[in-house]
Structure 1
Amino acid sequence: MISLGLEPSPEECSRAGCRARASHRIEWRNPRIHSEDRRKVWLACDEHEEFLREFLAARDFPLEVVPV
């Protein structure tokens, strides 16, 4: 795979197109395919934390939001 230097840094918001510094860590799982101990992580800036949290909550995915 060719990298064009557009890969997000570990501190960047996970919202598509956003390069802001993340201030929230959203830990979630899809209970249909993930075991209880498996967690996925999205990072969110202040602007996109609610959007990402609501996206996951609308799908009934268990989640927890913690500060970065």
Structure 2
Amino acid sequence: MDLLGSADPVAEGDLVCSAKGCRAPAAWGLLWNNPKIHTPQRRKVWLACDTHRPTLEEFLGRRDYWKQTVPVADLARFDPDARP
């Protein structure tokens, strides 16, 4: 069984929503960290379209992981390797 083969391909450089099954262009970067495994300053990023932003923020917030949401264009300020 090929678990990776079931995902829709994404072109290099395309930023798409992180919600399962969504291929919409990402408009938001949800910055988060898991305090049990990440240092306080570390920020991981999930991408979100306008539709899935509230759901993904709620999911991260219930776990006390969510830190901040920023427009995709501003991600480079938080991660020099991010692709706006």
**Common fold: TM-score over 0.5:** yes
Aligned residues: 68
TM-score, structure 1 normalization: 0.85
The corresponding residue for 2:8 is: 6
More helix by share: 2
TM-score, structure 2 normalization: 0.70
CA distance in 1, matches of 2:23, 2:65: 25
Structure 1: which 4+ aligned runs deviate by more than 2 Å? 3-10
The alpha carbon displacement at 1:8 in A equals 3.5
Q: Which runs of 5+ in 2 are unaligned?
A: 73-84
> Structure 1 residues 30-39 or 7-16, which shifts more?
7-16
What is the aligned-residue RMSD (CA, Å)? Answer: 2.1
The alignment-based identity, stated in percent, is 46
Q: Which runs of 5+ in 1 are unaligned?
A: none
Which one scores higher on RCO, CA 8 angstroms, separation ≥ 6? 1
The corresponding residue for 1:55 is: 59
**Where do 1:1-68 residues align within 5 Å?**
4=5, 6-9=8-11, 10-68=14-72
